[in-house]
Amino acid sequence: MLLAVADGMGGHEDGALASAAAVQAFSLLWSKGRPEAPELALLRFVLKAHKRLHTTVARRGGVRLGSTLTGAWILDGRLFWVHVGDSRLYFYRNGVLVRLTQDHTHREFALRDQRPIPPDPDRLAQSFVYGSRGLGDDGGIRVDPGRDTGSRHLRQGDIVVLCTDGLSSFVDDRRIADALREVPQPAACAEVLVERAIAHGSNDNVTVMVARVEDLGAGEVDDDALVPDE
């Protein structure tokens, strides 16, 4: 199962184009079949796809459009992911919600590099297609392995949530966990989360994807280093 959320920016038309390009590029992974090293394949593919799209857009003039891209791949009882921007990936087990991605703000990269926190620290530092904003190579993107990529073993009943900041900026993690506990059906839960974001004042794109692991088969693998059981 291949899942992705992309949130476009650069105005309505350019944002829609950028997010569509991001998802279409990511979907090409499916046609390539199962890689031997899925996490590494995600990292390499996203960097290559960004470079190709950025170059294509740059030939037509200045690159003014961008998109977040948070993708998850469920293969053989494991969750693999890659992340660019400030959409989010969450993992939910036994009533405990864990955020697997970190928002790519100027504050986040300053903390990673042990630099002083810059002015306007919560501003988005980079996006897929556009590239970075003052991180050094403005035509490229920074994806740190182990921070912006990762993997986890899955158990039956685990839930994966992908969302744009139209949800996460208005509904905190505790309330997201409440919805997952209160509404066990994934599609219905996604609708509830969208409704709660709007009720809390969100006027941004609110995209929410909720996926439950139903059957891992005989190859299910456990991992005690994950979220502790209650």
Q: What are 10's strand-pairing partners?
A: none
pTM beyond cutoff 0.75: yes
* Closest-CA residue to 86 (of 127, 50, 54): 127
Q: Which two tokens stand for residue 101?
A: 């991605």
Residues 47-83 have pLDDT tens digits of 998 988 888 888 877 777 788 999 999 998 999 999 9
The parts of the chain modelled with pLDDT lower than 50 are 218-230
CA separation for the pair 167, 170 (Å, rounded): 6
Tell me, letter by letter, the H, E, C secondary structure of 151-180.
EEECCCCCEEEEECHHHHCCCCHHHHHHHH
pLDDT of residue 13: 58
Residues 143-167 have pLDDT tens digits of 999 999 999 999 999 999 999 999 9
Q: Would you say 156 and 222 are in contact if contact means Cβ atoms under 8 Å apart?
A: no
Burial 36-64 (b: 16+ CB within 10 A, else e): eebbebbbebbbebbeebbeebeeeeebe
- Amino acid present at 7: D
Q: What are 209's strand-pairing partners?
A: 162
All structural domains of the chain, each given as residue ranges with its CATH number in brackets, are 2-217 (3.60.40.10)
Q: How far is CA 159 from the centre of its chain?
A: 15
pLDDT of residue 217: 56
pLDDT of residue 10: 63
